[in-house]
């Protein structure tokens, strides 16, 4: 009898300790939209696109108004997200294209998925990778236990062929095409992953394809064919705009289903959810009030919506601090109680998101092709090299505090500040482009 009581006592202590340990590390869900503009969703001011689920996340969570992507296009931002570093320090500072299939994120990089695995998390990814087409760069070789999705920049939402006609839908590192609208498949596999792993700490990375082109709704036809052939498709601007709205609304619906799954398993209090875009919106997007869009270093190219939700831990709040994609890495590794013993550029922003602290003043930088930008407080420096018809660099300075749309160049009025910021840009470039000798 005494033995039995001892057994019961030990069983209780073990279960209790385990339960306590289990609850101390939250599940982490990171949802990324592709090419979603700043004002493409309701809670960021859109009046025609219906996004009730994202609006609900923002209503009960934290809405960031000055969150930036590291890149102004897909792959560079994803590289910074995966590594916590300026992408210029990694092997992927440019877009990984279909024409360069042997290029990808160096396997030596320590991704956040690899770090979380070390902390005992099961790690899953469903959706767009865009950090290397070749099998050796597959997410399963970069820390993800499970991968369903595609490796290129975009696929036909129905036929799953990439831009030049290669089939691109994978289960782990095996090509495994299946029927379905890619946004719905991503939702399906996200839910399946949560169902399967609900009893252990998990990381789920959900990089959606929407609303990146090709513009296809849920009930449209596939139009990319094999061998780089396209079905004869003519879409008017009005049709594209209607489909673009639908693509965002279907993604929002999927995000609602993921949140409902977490709730159904009573995981919502133990799961932190991040949502953001990978760069500013493209031609059909609304980036209001910001200037320009994808592929540009003006605000519209990299200031994006970002919402963080964690029931019972985060409260409705608006955060105006300047934050960046590379900050996600140290934030989630800290939540997983992991020390990063390798250099990264991002900073843990959990204190900011909770409204408990602010981040130290820091300069932030963007670089894309011939454009460079830098942010210091409210000031934004933009340098454009080789601008058409100009012999010298175009130097622009804006004060975002009273000129959020970057309309009035005040560089001539602030020569000392411009010189200081140019020096900081030079130093940053020297620092990030330095590659240690092999």
User: Which spans of this chain sit near Ca ion (rule: CB under 5 A)?
Assistant: 34-35, 74, 278-279
CA distance 128 to 151: 6
Which conformational region is residue 277 in: left (phi greater than 0), alpha (psi within -120 to 50 degrees), or beta? beta
168 and 160 Cβ atoms separated by less than 8 Å? yes
Handedness of CA 387, 390, 391, 396 (dihedral sign): negative
Residue with tokens 């089939």: 167
Minimum Å distance from CB 278 to Ca ion?
4
Element (H, E) at 376: strand 371-376
Q: List, by residue number, the catalytic residues.
A: 74, 130
Element (H, E) at 374: strand 371-376
CA-to-CA dists, residue 57 to 48, 199, 322, angstroms = 19, 24, 21
27: three-class secondary structure by DSSP: strand
Minimum Å distance from CB 35 to Ca ion?
4
- Direct distance between the N- and C-terminal alpha carbons of the chain, in angstroms, rounded to an integer: 66
Residue nearest to Ca ion (CB): 74
Minimum Å distance from CB 248 to Ca ion?
14
411 and 394 Cβ atoms separated by less than 8 Å? no
User: Which one, 35 or 345, has the nearer CB to Ca ion?
Assistant: 35
Q: How far is CA 18 from the centre of its chain?
A: 32
Specify the DSSP class assigned to residue 90: S
Residue with tokens 């942010």: 375
Minimum Å distance from CB 264 to Ca ion?
31
Minimum Å distance from CB 99 to Ca ion?
18
């Amino acid at each position: 009898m005494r033995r039995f009581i001892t057994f019961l006592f030990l069983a209780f202590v073990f279960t209790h300790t385990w339960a306590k340990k289990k609850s101390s590390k939250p599940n982490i869900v990171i949802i990324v939209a592709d090419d979603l503009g700043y004002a493409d969703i309701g809670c960021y001011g859109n009046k025609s696109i219906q996004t009730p689920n994202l609006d609900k996340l923002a209503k009960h969570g934290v809405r960031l108004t000055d969150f930036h992507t590291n890149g102004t296009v897909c792959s560079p931002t994803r590289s910074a997200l995966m590594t916590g570093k300026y992408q210029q320090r990694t092997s992927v500072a440019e877009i990984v294209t279909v024409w360069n299939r042997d290029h990808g994120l160096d396997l030596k990089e320590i991704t956040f998925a690899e770090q979380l695995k070390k902390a005992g998390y099961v790690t899953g990814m469903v959706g767009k990778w865009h950090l290397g087409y070749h099998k050796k760069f597959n997410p399963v070789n970069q820390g993800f236990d499970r991968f369903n999705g595609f490796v290129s920049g975009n696929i036909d939402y129905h036929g799953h062929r990439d831009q030049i006609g290669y089939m691109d839908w994978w289960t782990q590192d095996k090509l495994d095409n299946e029927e379905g609208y890619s946004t719905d498949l991503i939702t399906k596999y996200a839910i399946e992953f949560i169902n399967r792993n609900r009893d252990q700490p998990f990381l789920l990375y959900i990089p959606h394809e929407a609303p990146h082109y090709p513009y296809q709704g849920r009930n449209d036809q596939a139009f990319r064919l094999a061998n780089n052939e396209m079905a004869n498709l003519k879409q008017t601007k009005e049709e594209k705009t209607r489909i673009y709205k639908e693509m965002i609304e279907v993604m929002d619906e999927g995000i609602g289903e993921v949140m409902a799954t977490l709730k159904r398993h009573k995981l919502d209090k133990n799961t932190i959810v991040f949502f953001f875009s990978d760069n500013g919106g493209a031609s059909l997007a609304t980036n209001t009030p910001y200037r320009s869009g994808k592929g540009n270093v003006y605000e519209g190219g990299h200031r994006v919506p970002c919402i963080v939700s964690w029931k019972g831990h985060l409260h409705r709040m608006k955060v105006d601090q300047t934050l960046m994609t590379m900050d996600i890495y140290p934030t989630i590794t800290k939540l997983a109680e992991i020390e990063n013993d390798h250099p990264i550029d991002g900073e843990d922003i959990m204190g900011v998101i909770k409204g408990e602290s602010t981040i130290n003043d820091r300069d932030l930088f963007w670089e894309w092709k011939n454009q460079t930008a830098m942010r210091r407080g409210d000031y934004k420096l933009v340098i454009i090299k080789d601008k058409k018809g100009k012999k010298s660099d175009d130097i622009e300075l804006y004060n975002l505090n009273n000129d959020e749309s970057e309309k009035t160049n005040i560089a001539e009025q602030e020569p000392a500040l411009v010189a200081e910021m140019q020096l900081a840009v030079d130093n940053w470039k020297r620092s990030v482009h330095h590659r240690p000798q092999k």
